[in-house]
Amino acid sequence: MPTAPQRLAVLKTYKLYLGGKFPRTESGRTMIATDALTGEHLAHYCHASRKDLRDAVVAARAAQPGWGASTAYLRGQILYRMAEMLESRRDAFISEIRRGTGASPTQSAAEVDATVDRLVWYAGWTDKLHQVYGAVNPVAGPYFNFTLPEPTGVVGIFAPDSPSLLGLVSVMASTILTGNAAVILASETCPLPAISFAEVLATSDLPGGVVNLLSGQRAELTPWLASHHDVNAVIDASGDPAVAKALQAGSAANLKRFANHACPTPADWFGEIGRDPYRILDTVEFKTAWHPIGV
């Protein structure tokens, strides 16, 4: 029998996700991901720069008005589509989480399954948000008075290190379901599943720029995101007190909102704390409108 030809595996190139595209970092810098089980080299991934962050904010700002004006039904359908695409790639994400964290196959599968379920959970909130958190207010006069939640704009997000995929998707989904756009810095210790999740976003009909994913070092990017005047709110889910302090200090420059979405333990991301719908309110504004009663 003829000998089968030898071949080299085509290794994946992990890039940024900005404006619906997959560019390399403008700085040319990379970081190395290693297998938590064997210590072998897994991949190089982008070390995002300040310029990459600025580009992400520009893309988010351009995409937000259209996304915010879309119907709640459409946003829910797109979030559900994300769940479908993630489910179809379940085995690949299980492998990526296992190699990146050293978790068992059972633990890795549980995180991927919980992430799919979390997307479905938040997809269901898009058309229920106004009924639950909005109000028809009693007034002394011939008027209707409504209070309605609206997106705050562009939101910066620092994802937790563990669970790297479920944590990122939880804060992302609760932020964008209302019509916000997001600039997200992935886990610093296990970024590969989060970067691969960008491929799910790219195939889910989500408009380019609504979610922008960066990989790199929190210490480098925190002050620039916190002080950026075109970012309306920041969410810190990293659990790092130094990051939270820097974000709060920088947010004071343009009075952007700051919310701490870190969970007490990694296990809490799988339960009620991790999917708390009240966290949606941290990135919405409430508008009150008056309308005369017709006769």
Residue 295 scores a pLDDT above 60: no
Q: State the sign of the Cα–Cα–Cα–Cα dihedral 32, 36, 37, 38.
A: positive
Identify the pLDDT of residue 10: 78
**How many angstroms separate the CA atoms of 16 and 86, rounded?**
19
Residue 294 scores a pLDDT above 80: no
Say which residue the tokens 């006069």 belong to: 141
Residue 241 scores a pLDDT above 80: yes
232 residue type, one letter? N
Model confidence pLDDT, tens digit, residues 266-289: 999 999 999 999 999 999 998 888
Contacts made by residues 245-253, CB under 8 angstroms, sequence distance 24+? 246/222, 247/158, 247/222, 250/222, 250/223, 250/225, 250/226, 251/226, 253/226, 253/227, 253/229
Q: Under a CB-based contact definition with an 8 Å cutoff, are residues 197 and 168 in contact?
A: yes
Residue 212 scores a pLDDT above 80: yes
CA-based max dimension of the chain: 92
Q: Report the predicted TM-score, pTM, of the whole model to 2 decimal places.
A: 0.92
Q: Under a CB-based contact definition with an 8 Å cutoff, are residues 226 and 251 in contact?
A: yes
Give the percent of the chain with pLDDT over 90. Answer: 74
Give the percent of the chain with pLDDT over 70. Answer: 99
Say which residue the tokens 């997001």 belong to: 182
User: What is the residue extent of each domain of the chain?
Assistant: 30-292
Count of beta carbons in the 10 Å neighbourhood of residue 3:
5
Picking from 268, 294, 295, 292, the residue whose alpha carbon sits closest to that of residue 139 is 292
Model confidence pLDDT, tens digit, residues 66-87: 999 999 999 999 999 999 999 9
Identify the pLDDT of residue 41: 86
Task: Fold for 30-292, please state it.
Answer: Aldehyde Dehydrogenase; Chain A, domain 1 (3.40.605)
Model confidence pLDDT, tens digit, residues 136-187: 888 888 888 888 899 999 999 999 999 999 999 999 999 999 999 999 999 9
Q: Which range (27-31, 39-43, 164-168) has the least confidence?
A: 39-43
Model confidence pLDDT, tens digit, residues 87-133: 999 999 999 999 999 999 999 999 999 999 999 999 999 999 988 99
197 vs 5, 87, 187, CA distance in Å? 33, 11, 12
Residue 259 scores a pLDDT above 70: yes
64 Cα distance to chain centroid: 14
Identify the pLDDT of residue 2: 66
Identify the pLDDT of residue 1: 62
Q: Under a CB-based contact definition with an 8 Å cutoff, are residues 61 and 230 in contact?
A: yes
